[in-house]
Structure 1
């Protein structure tokens, strides 16, 4: 427990709380102060709880703290039966309850801040099931749940991006390397500019070179577009051929599904797989390794300029011309008519190329089939997750479609009936409006007739009388029913009272001696209470006297401490002055003239002589200029020097 309190005090004295607790002051905190301290720690985790608990009702404070601790997933020590004691201790600010909570919160503040921030968006609002029956409320709640799920995914992606970022050291190294490359390129460009400036008409040549580069780039982009379109056309044709072949294979498989056909198909697959493993894949692997080797060589070489590239292009052209010449010589030397194996070689090369092309087509077909199967499995899983049902196939799907058709016919009938009812409602509404207009016209005619015969308001009075008479008859009926009900209720109450009296008679007999005993105990309680109050009053008066004495002694102790410090300071000042005086005496008595010149007396004497000489010089100069007060100025300078010596 002491280690726990020590950890709490250390954490509270640090940022951001900045408390000045020690073990004694923290242990002597009142329950209300402990609750306020717990509320400050909770407010650091969730700023919504930054509230003064003195301005809040205790039940609201307890409810707010319980809800936040539940969100933070705090598990109180002890079994489930101790939960009532835990709640009571938290409300009253009990130390055995508050200290473990503070220790748990201060151990993982950053983690709990993140959990409280997420709880603000992830804790769902509880809505009763009755309200969810409304379509608008249900749709809104569904949108709210979708937004919560979207927040989860976005927060997860944000955390992944934060964790997988590059380090600053790597970024700085990359920046330094790029700056060095930039400096090298700038220097190289400057050298080329100097080299080009010496050539006559270099601006026109540069412009032509720029135009040539733009046209080449445009030509390359057009060639790339052309190649892409060719590739797309080729892939589309291949997909069409594969689809046709798959359709043909499926038809054949459905036609002759025999063991011999299956064995033949397996043999073909084995041959294809052996060809892929033994011939095609090793060749592709060797070609990939060669390309990787060439690329590594290119990367290992230093950066090349335009001159180096032009030299390489010329070399490539020369080598291509040499290769073409050698091919021509070989063709001239080896006559195809003389070579008997030429046709067989040509056929073998054609067959090998066709074999490679077919192997590639078959491989692409298998990859596409596997991708389609994966997509089909993914779609079925999505459908299962969406409505929790399996994807229907065959006869089940037909039955489902027939059921939907029957439901659609019923829906159409109901919709037609609803349209008819709406039309009838419109007609009735229009009829009601027409009748209201007719009634208003008749009322106006009746009022005009009454005004003509001098009996204005007769119809209203007649209607009011009829209404009052109807109300009176209804009230009379209600009163009659009420009186009957009251008489029946009185009979029932009387019977119930008599039953209760008979049932309570033995209990009342047992209660009479208990009442006497209760009176005796109350008298004894009053006597004990009066004794307790008198004793408590005496102890309270003694405690107040002792507190006053302690307060007086503390004040006297404080005064004595201040007096001690003041006298100690005066003593130090006097010791310092004595030390300075002894040092001055040593310098003044010293036999060394240099040491004696350091004494204050000698310094002040020299200053006095300098001031006297200066005063005499000024007096003489002012006599010549008509100064009437030379002696006064001299006396004033002597007084100033004397004051300076006295202050020192």
Structure 2
């Protein structure tokens, strides 16, 4: 344990924490301070954990820490009791729970940083199977999985590149090879250009080839845009259907909003709020005040030593023994009036507990409903902001809600079973304590009886055996008396048992027909439930078949509508082309020269003539450039040489000027020395 603390303190004193702890100051930290240090270490691993735990609820802090530790693959203690104590200790900030976590984290901070970084991108989102039935959501989820795989491959390549260790010499060789390849490509392009220049009208042919390439690229882009446009049209139709369903639901909700139902809901809410304000919240506030007063009283008292603690434990043990004796006396007395009152008290307490539990459940349900409404509003606003965002359909949402309700009922049943088991465990634990106390009391009585009878420590030593054998004759009479008293006590116990049996006999008789009735009702319930399950399964299968048929018909209608619109568009394009061809023929056949000049043929001929004249001018310019290329290059070289010569002269002038200034300084220093 000391080695563990040493390593924790040593790591916390280093970068980036720099806490300046020693073993004493670290061991004397409060639980909240220890939890804050654990949170700071987790924040160093994952920057999202940089939170002040005083500004956060303990449940949220525990949930956040458990989530991150599970993501980092921290293994808590093995058994269930140890795991529960570990969780409780981590929430309360106890040292036996926090110190092993700090020791494990501080030993492998770089590795855990990398794991936390990868977990942000590689932890898969759990999407319900019902949502994946939608094509858009399924396609988005498939893209999400592909992006995860792409991220994995990119990360592996990055790690391989980091570990491969390419040298600068290899990179320079690669750059040189690419430069040589570039020069070869330039030479090849130049040869092809010279070969093409010898062909007649090569500029026109190059222009036509460029236009052909551009048209092919445009055709490919239009082919890619066509399915995207179809997909957008399908999504728009789906959004329209969902909007119509939402409008229908809103109209139904507005129709159901009657004054009577609104008044009834308001009355129920007022009753609940009055109960919370008048009964539940004052009791909780009073209990919190008592707890605070008790804690303040405990904090104000001075620290107790071990002797005082043992004395208090003895007093507690004696008080428990007296309480048990009083309970036994009360059970022996068996007053019928007290029994009736206790029965009513138990019923009243049970009803009060049930009322409080239902109020808490209602409050939790309201809080959960408010949170879900806020989340739904946020999702709706986000979906409205994003174009093409997909929402859950009405029938799918209803199925999802029904599924969640069944899960909620199952969860409540399991939670009730756990509560019953915990209550039974508490009763058994209390019974065990009572039996242990009775056993201790019996041992004490036995020891006192042995002391009274003179046989204390009978089985301990041989000396006591010899002493007992020596006084055996004296104890025979006392044994006879004790046997008589024990026989009387047995008779009394048998009479009490017979009385209890006679008192319980009518209750057992009443219970037997009730048990039989319960069995009959349980059997009838099972039969009815089986019938209901079969009927529900048949209706569900029919409904799924009808939904599939409707979906197929809707897809067919959408395809036919797309085909109809496509045919109309092609018809309009064809009509426009026919009209343009008729106008062209009319203008070409016309006797008016101005109208003939507006034809496409005349325009193309004019463009061809302009391009030929432009090509002729460019060839003349190329000829002039070739003739003057050598002289111009020679003149450029002469200008560069002149520039180098002037730069050299400037440098020489600056050096000479600096040497002269240094000589003057030396001469002045010498004159000063002579004067001195």
Same fold (TM over 0.5): no
Bigger Cα Rg: 1
TM-score normalised per structure 1? 0.28
Higher relative contact order (CA 8 A, sep 6+): 2
TM-score normalised per structure 2? 0.27
